[in-house]
């Protein structure tokens, strides 16, 4: 079944309370004439993320906001998957940052978990990928999922302050700057979220 289209000038709820994520999504949809508003600005609570996949959590969050506001809602569930940690932190990426969402702490936890497994002994750095699942949900319960990935390696110590989350320790394949060092426009061109967005744009935007 083909996805329903969003029209220029329409309102879209971004089902996230994460400022970095809100900024990235607003930047990505701005050229398509959509009026974005955050779930927080609409006084929509954050649902508990109880699913075990990125797609499942994205669907849960988007449906929660769409039903609460009566507007189409776009959510993102994304995270860092590390080969040497069996895919962790994965869907628990944000939880590794603790209640204060301190990603300096989360990156240190990644470092220490890899060090315990001698993961930093790989000369080029531990293999990892970012995955993003986007879900567009409508108030009637209709949903569409779009997923993107970007592969690379981890660096230590973290480098750069331009991204958010685990960006400062992720070096995409073929790049010399971490996501934390890249200008936003460059990151938007190659990131996992940008790849999922291209699929969303092709399917849902006029």
Six token digits for residue 61: 């969050």
Radius of gyration of the chain (CA): 17
Do 202 and 194 form a contact (C-beta atoms < 8 A)?
no
**How many alpha carbons fall within 13 Å on the CB side of residue 53?**
8
Max alpha carbon distance in the chain (Å)? 52
Query: Which one is catalytic: 27, 35, 76, 77?
Result: 77
Distance from C-alpha of 115 to C-alpha of 154, rounded to nearest angstrom:
12
Catalytic residue status for 202: no
Rounded to whole angstroms, the Cα distance separating 65 from 156 reads 37
CB atoms within 10 A of CB 164: 17
Q: What string of DSSP letters covers 48-96?
A: P---SSHHHHHHHHHHHHHHHHSS-EEEEEEEEEEGGGTT-BGGGTTGG
CA distance 14 to 156: 32
Residues involved in catalysis: 77
């Amino acid at each position: 079944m083909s996805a329903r289209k969003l029209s220029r000038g329409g309102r879209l709820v971004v089902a996230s309370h994460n400022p970095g994520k809100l900024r990235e999504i607003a930047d990505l949809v701005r050229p398509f004439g959509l009026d974005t508003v955050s779930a927080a600005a609409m006084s929509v609570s954050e649902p508990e993320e109880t699913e075990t996949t990125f797609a499942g959590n994205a669907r849960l969050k988007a449906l929660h906001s769409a039903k609460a506001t009566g507007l189409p809602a776009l959510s993102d569930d994304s995270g860092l998957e590390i080969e040497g940690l069996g895919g962790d932190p994965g869907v628990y990426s944000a939880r590794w940052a603790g209640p204060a969402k301190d990603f300096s702490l989360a990156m240190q936890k990644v470092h220490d978990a890899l060090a315990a497994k001698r993961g930093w002994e790989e000369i080029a750095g531990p293999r990892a990928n970012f995955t993003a699942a986007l879900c567009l949900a409508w108030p009637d319960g209709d949903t569409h999922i779009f997923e993107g990935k970007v592969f690379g390696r981890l660096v230590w110590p973290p480098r750069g302050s331009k991204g958010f989350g685990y960006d400062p320790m992720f070096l995409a394949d073929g790049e010399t700057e971490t996501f934390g060092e890249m200008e936003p426009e460059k990151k938007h061109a190659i990131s996992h979220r940008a790849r999922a967005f291209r699929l969303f744009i092709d399917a849902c935007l006029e």
